[in-house]
Amino acid sequence: MRPKLTGAAVVTLALSAVLTACAGGRDSADYQTDYANHPPLRVTGHPSTGSLETVQKLVWRLADGDADAVAALNTEGGDAGPAARAWIRAYGKAARDEVSADFRDEGSVRQDVVLRFSGPRRTQELTVRIGKGDAWGVVLSGPEPRRQP
């Protein structure tokens, strides 16, 4: 016997199917895989879609130890490889545990974010913004870990 779906369940399933079909493509599949393979990011504040996605990708790439992908998020031009490797040394292991992101201010084109890593109880301030080609990225300078109180 099949379970009977409520009206709300039918609407939810239909909306999920529509959103999945609209979002479709490789990026959507990559995002879903990344989301399933990493702990959820705890969020406070009011991120924009772009700032949230960028911070989420940064944390995932840190957790994966992928310096090239972290460097690719840089908005400032130049060789971001050394900074990306420094971020991974400082936060790679911690990014595999619980991380929270406090999105400050309004985030239509730029937003300041404070990442809090629960394992080593450190924080890192960063700026995400729209860079080249109207793509969101990170102002990737050397990390400056601070101890949480």
Is the domain of 3 the same as that of 51? no
Is the domain of 119 the same as that of 63? yes
Largest CA distance in the chain: 62
The pLDDT assigned to 74 comes to 95
The residue among 126, 68, 69, 124 whose CA lies nearest residue 91 is 124
Determine the structural domain holding residue 82 and report its residue range: 41-147
The pLDDT assigned to 107 comes to 87
Q: Which helix (H) or strand (E) holds 43?
A: strand 41-45
pLDDT, tens digit only, all 149 positions of the chain: 444 545 444 333 333 433 444 444 667 788 889 889 998 999 999 999 999 999 999 999 999 999 999 999 999 989 999 999 999 999 999 999 999 999 998 889 999 999 999 987 889 999 999 998 899 999 998 888 788 76
Is the domain of 4 the same as that of 25? yes
pTM, rounded to two decimals:
0.79
Is the domain of 62 the same as that of 130? yes
SS3 content of the chain, % helix, strand, coil (to 5): 45, 25, 30
The residue among 54, 58, 51 whose CA lies nearest residue 90 is 58
Is the domain of 105 the same as that of 138? yes
Is the domain of 29 the same as that of 57? no
